[in-house]
Homo-oligomer: A and B are copies of this chain.
Amino acid sequence: SLNNSIEFGKRGMSLEEELNSSNQYYLSRGLGVIHKKPTPIQIVKVEYPKRSAARITEAYFRQASTTDYNGVYKGHYLDFDAKETTNLTSFPLKNFHTHQITHMKQCIDAGGICFTIIKFVKLDRIFLLQAINLFDYWDKKDNGGRQSIPLSYFEEQGIEIKYKLAPLIPYLSAVDMIM
């Protein structure tokens, strides 16, 4: 309901935190094993103090070569990225990196199920969009196509996911619809 939706929106969790919490729920119920991958870091210097943990004193963020989330559900390999936008009417494609699209295409070729979860933060609406639909826009954007995916496209071709109590974002129910 709208009330629930507003209430959850007030928690101040990021989409990533909401998904991590949902994944924890799915894991605890034996429904699926999906984890966010750690942020890739280039480690340059490490100190090994006596009697305490190794301390990294110089490191840099590296560009990820894959999407953020993957795992297994009902025997299927799932792979997806999650993105928020504060836009009201469309999702800007510049939120994706070429390597993420490439990775999703590779996973689909190997038989995986790939999609993206997009949150329109100011609308408090979340959609699952299949990767093939994302590719449609992505592949046209450098050939005179749109630089963003309109909200109406998510409404027509995506699957809207409504917040629940547990899991917070029941996205595996949406995955059931594309399997």
Contact = CB atoms under 8 A, between A and B. Distances in A.
Given A59-B59, A72-B77, 11 more contacts: A30-B109, A31-B110, A33-B103, A39-B41, A41-B41, A53-B60, A54-B60, A56-B61, A73-B110, A76-B77, A77-B77
A33 B76 CA distance: 14
A106 B54 contact: no
Total copies of the chain: 2
Interface of A: 27, 30-33, 35, 37-41, 43, 53-62, 64-66, 70-77, 79, 103, 106-107, 109-112
Given A40-B38, A58-B57, A61-B54, A33 B75 contact: no
B110 A35 contact: no
